[in-house]
Structure 1
Amino acid sequence: MQKAVLYVRALLFYTGLVALTIPFSLLAILLTPLPAVTRSRWVSGWAYGVLWWLKVTCNLRYEVTGREHIPAGAHIILAKHQSAWETIGLQCIFPPQIWVMKKELLMIPFLGWAFWALDAIPIDRSAGREALKKLVNNGKDRLRQGLSVVIFPEGTRTAPGQRGKYHIGGAWLASHSETTVVPVAHNAGRFWRKNSILKYPGVIQVVIGQPIDTKGLKPDAINKQVEDWIEAEMLNL
């Protein structure tokens, strides 16, 4: 497909993205008095709208394998990080959720305000062990409210075929809260690439792994299970 067509489609998509983000961000702020799960369900309409518009403008869809592995209650989702797509797509796949993110993201107009209103968990990567303590305290609080916690162990996006370092934070929270972990692999980076506005048509494949019972497991053991499964699955995508 000609690059010019891809650019036009991408610009149409981003125009709609902005148009959806502003009202839903304001809605998130207005809903702050409501329970966390209610807020999450209402505001997740943004993600459904964005993915619909992505399909219309860029002919980019997704398919999910392993939905039967999603636990009924709140859990911790540890996912591969290749693009911005999964920050949107996972909201349509999993139950009410909240995300662990760099604290700088809360400064983004509208979108950052929505993150704050939805009780996202900001982290300071330079804070070391203190950051892990805050992650555990905040993570346990969100889990108690019925929210699943989404964490990208690699921390930053990696290109298809690349493998980032799997940081311990998500496994640390899982071990200290004894919460079930669900690993997720996907190939979104093939279609929605890092540092590119272009969106290539196709079907993103998302694979949900068997839940991991973390009771009695150390963070390192959890992290290794998650990394081994995700990276092995990535070879099939």
Structure 2
Amino acid sequence: MRSLAFNFAYWVLSIGYGLAAALAALVPGRRPTSRVIRQYVRRMVQAMRLLAGIRIEVRGRERLPEGAYILASKHQSWGDGFATYDQFDDLAFVTGDHLEKFPLLGTVLRKLGAIVVNN
């Protein structure tokens, strides 16, 4: 039952926030799109916790350097992206070109400054 509830929430949140991000991408600047995506990520992490019982544990933040740095997660599941994006401000990220196949998502990725690689 939890899986069904989470799947429903995943699709509703993803479609709703995806459309909102696509509209925000039409506005000049990165900030409106970034705000929508940050809110989406927070809601997904909340759904992971409340509906799926997934608790996120972050270790080693105190060892991160000041200024810019590269953070590479193990990417053990699709949830790594949500968990990472939720923890850090002004995050640039690398993603596969498969995401550009979804309508309007390529525009959102460009607006967020994503580095899209051909995998």
Gaps of 5+ in 2: none
Deviates more, 1:52-61 or 1:109-118: 109-118
Gaps of 5+ in 1: 1-7, 126-237
What CA distance in whole angstroms lies between the structure 1 residues aligned with 2:12 and 2:47? Answer: 11
Structure 1 runs of 4+ aligned residues shifted over 6 Å read none
How many pairs align? 118
TM-score normalized by the length of structure 2: 0.80
Identity fraction in percent: 28
Bigger strand fraction: 1
Deviates more, 1:94-103 or 1:11-20: 94-103
Do structure 1's residue 26 and structure 2's residue 19 form an aligned pair?
yes
Bigger helix fraction: 2
Contact 1:26 1:114 (8 Å CA) reproduced: no
> In the TM superposition, what is the alpha-carbon distance from 1:113 to its structure 2 partner?
5.4
Counterpart code for 2:114: A
Q: In structure 2, what is the equivalent of residue 50 of structure 1?
A: 44
Deviations along 1:18-48, one digit per CA (max 9) or x if unpaired, are 1111222122222233433553244211111
SS of residue matched to 1:28: helix
What CA distance in whole angstroms lies between the structure 1 residues aligned with 2:105 and 2:3? Answer: 19
What CA distance in whole angstroms lies between the structure 2 residues aligned with 1:110 and 1:89? Answer: 23
Q: In structure 2, what is the equivalent of residue 121 of structure 1?
A: 115
Counterpart code for 2:93: W
Contact 2:22 2:105 (8 Å CA) reproduced: no
What CA distance in whole angstroms lies between the structure 1 residues aligned with 2:7 and 2:106? Answer: 17
Mark the structure with the bigger radius of gyration.
Answer: 1
CA RMSD of aligned residues (A): 2.3
TM-score normalized by the length of structure 1: 0.44
Contact 1:37 1:96 (8 Å CA) reproduced: no
Do structure 1's residue 100 and structure 2's residue 94 form an aligned pair?
yes
